[in-house]
Structure 1
Amino acid sequence: MAEVRDIEVVVFDVLGTLVDEPGGLRAAIREAVPASGDAAVDELLTLWQQHVETEQRRIAQGHRAYATTEIIDREAARRVAAHAGLADPAAVARLAAAGQRLPPWSDSVAGLERLARRFPVLGLSNAGRTALLRLNAHAGLRWHQVLSSEAVLAYKPAPEVYQLAIDAAGCPPERVLMVAAHAWDLRGAQAGGMRTAYAHRPVGDPPRSSDVFDWRFNGLDELVARLTAR
C-alpha cells in the first residue's frame, strides 16, 4: 500500500473518469435522432460502444492497423445513423464528433485545479490527439501535460501507453499514481509498476474482489482531500 508522501506525480484517465462519456454520447444521439425514445437511444448507444470496443480490440490483437478515435468514432456514427435512418450528412458529422463534447463530472474541474497546486498532474487517454485537445477545451480540463495513446499507436491497457506517463513523469513508476474509474485500466498501470487509485463513477468498471489497488475513493473530492492532507 502506497503512502501519500511516496507519490510525486498523479496521472488521470480521462474518458469515464473525468468526463461522462456515455452521458455525452447519449445526449448527442438524442440530438441527432430527436424522435427516438429512451430505449431506442440506449440501443444506439450500445451499438456505438460495441463498435468502439470491437475495433480497439482488433487493433490490440493485430487484426487492424492503428486508427485514431476520431476515425473509429466516425465509423460508429455512421453505423448509428444507418440503424436510425439518419441521412443528413451534417447531422452525421456532428454526431461523429460527439466524443469531443463530453461533459465533465461535477467534481472534475475543481478537483484537478486543487490537486495541481500540490502535484504535477498528467492526463493519459485513449482519445486521439485532436479529439483530446477539443475535449479538454470543451470540458474545461486543465493539465500540466496531457498524453494521448496515439503517440504509441496503441490503446490502453497496452503497456507502452502507461510507459508514456512514466517517461513524462521522470521518476520511478512506484512514485506515479494512476487514477481511473476503470479497474481494467488500473490493472494495466499496476502491471507497469505504477501506484493505483480507483475513483468511483456511475459508468466505470468497478474492481473485482481479487483487485488490490492502493486506494479506492468515492469520487474526486475524496481523492483530492486524501492526497493533499499532508
Structure 2
Amino acid sequence: MTAPLHHAGFFGFDVFGTVVDWRSGVARAARPFLQRYGIGVDPFAFADQWRALYQPAMEQVRTGARPWVRLDVLQRENLELLLARHGADVATLAEDELADLNRAWERLDPWPDAVAGLTRIRRRFPIGTVSNSHVAGMVQLARFGGLAWDAILGAEMAHDYKPQPQVYLKSADVAGVPPHRFVLVAAHNGDLRAARACGLRTVFVPRPLEHGPGQDTDLEAEDDWDLVAGDFLELADLLGCP
C-alpha cells in the first residue's frame, strides 16, 4: 500500500459512472417508455441528454438560485423538460410511468468489477458513497446492485452538491475521520480535484465507457492522485485487500 493510504480511515466512492453504469441502465428503462409513447429518440441518446441536464440543475442549488432539493426532484424536472423537448405532452403521460422512469437511476448495473472489488476493499476498510444522489435513492441502488456500503454519505447530508467543499467535508465528518484519512475514489478528475482541495486523499479509477464508445473525457489520470487503478479489483490488490 502506498504511504498516503496506509492509515486511511474510510474509502468513499463516487457512484454514478464510477461504481455503476448509468448510461446503459437509463437507456434500458427508457426504451419501452419511448416506444410506448411514440417518442422517436434513441434510448442511449435520451440517456445522454437526460444526464446533460444534471449539472445545470445542480448548479441552481450550488449558486443559491434555488433552495436545496434532493436529486430525485431535479431528475424528475429534467425528465419532464426533456420529454417536452421531444414533443411529448407531459400532462397526458401516466404519472406512475413517469415516476417509474425517474427511478431508473435506482436500477443501474454495477460495472463488472465493482461488487467483487468493493467486497474485498470492505474487508480492510469501511466504505461508503460520496454521491450527489439522495439517501433513499442510494439505498435502492445498493439493494438492486448488491452494493454492501457501510454508510451512505454525500449531498443530502450537506444540503449541497459536489464539487462544493461541504459535501466532501461533511462526508468525512459523518464518517468520523479527518479529511486526510478520508479517501475519495472516482472516475472523474474534477471530482478528485475538488476533494483534494478539501484535504481528502484521492484514487482515480477510469471508466472509459461511462459516456459510451465515443467518450473523450476522463480516460486517464490528469494529476498525481494518491493512487491510480485500472478497476476496483486492481485497487483491492494495491491496497493489500484479501
Letter in 2 for 1:218: G
**Hey, what's the Cα distance between the residues in 2 that align with 1:112 and 1:123?**
11
**Hey, what's the Cα distance between the residues in 2 that align with 1:200 and 1:209?**
8
How do 1:1-230 and structure 2 match up within 5 A? 2-34=3-35, 40-82=42-84, 83=86, 85=88, 87-201=93-207, 202-203=209-210, 205-206=217-218, 211-228=223-240
* 1:35-80 CA-partner distances (Å, limit 9, x unpaired): 7899632332233122222111121122222211110111122223
Shift of 1:209: 7.2
Shift of 1:89: 2.9
Q: Which moved more, 1:74-83 or 1:213-222?
A: 74-83
Q: Is the Cα contact below 8 Å between 1:33 and 1:84 reproduced in 2?
A: no
Letter in 2 for 1:125: S
Q: Is the Cα contact below 8 Å between 1:123 and 1:143 reproduced in 2?
A: yes
Shift of 1:220: 0.7
Q: Cα 1:114–1:206, aligned 2, differ >3 Å: closer, same or farther?
A: same
Q: Cα 1:115–1:209, aligned 2, differ >3 Å: closer, same or farther?
A: closer
* 1:159-187 CA-partner distances (Å, limit 9, x unpaired): 11101222133333222211011111111
* 1:144-202 CA-partner distances (Å, limit 9, x unpaired): 11113111110011111101222133333222211011111111110111110001112
**Hey, what's the Cα distance between the residues in 2 that align with 1:105 and 1:26?**
16
**Hey, what's the Cα distance between the residues in 2 that align with 1:146 and 1:104?**
16
**Hey, what's the Cα distance between the residues in 2 that align with 1:91 and 1:209?**
40
Secondary structure of 2:35's match? coil
RMSD of equivalent CA atoms: 2.4
Secondary structure of 2:239's match? helix
Letter in 1 for 2:105: G
Letter in 2 for 1:56: M
**Hey, what's the Cα distance between the residues in 2 that align with 1:89 and 1:199?**
38
Q: Cα 1:127–1:209, aligned 2, differ >3 Å: closer, same or farther?
A: closer
Q: Is the Cα contact below 8 Å between 1:198 and 1:213 reproduced in 2?
A: yes
Unaligned runs of 5+ in 1: none
Secondary structure of 2:53's match? helix
Q: Cα 1:39–1:160, aligned 2, differ >3 Å: closer, same or farther?
A: same
Letter in 1 for 2:8: I
**Hey, what's the Cα distance between the residues in 2 that align with 1:88 and 1:159?**
39
Q: Cα 1:167–1:106, aligned 2, differ >3 Å: closer, same or farther?
A: same
Unaligned runs of 5+ in 2: 212-216
**Hey, what's the Cα distance between the residues in 1 that align with 2:171 and 2:71?**
19
Q: Cα 1:75–1:120, aligned 2, differ >3 Å: closer, same or farther?
A: same
**Hey, what's the Cα distance between the residues in 2 that align with 1:207 and 1:158?**
23
Letter in 2 for 1:46: D
What TM-score do you get using the length of structure 1 for normalisation?
0.89
Q: Cα 1:210–1:226, aligned 2, differ >3 Å: closer, same or farther?
A: closer
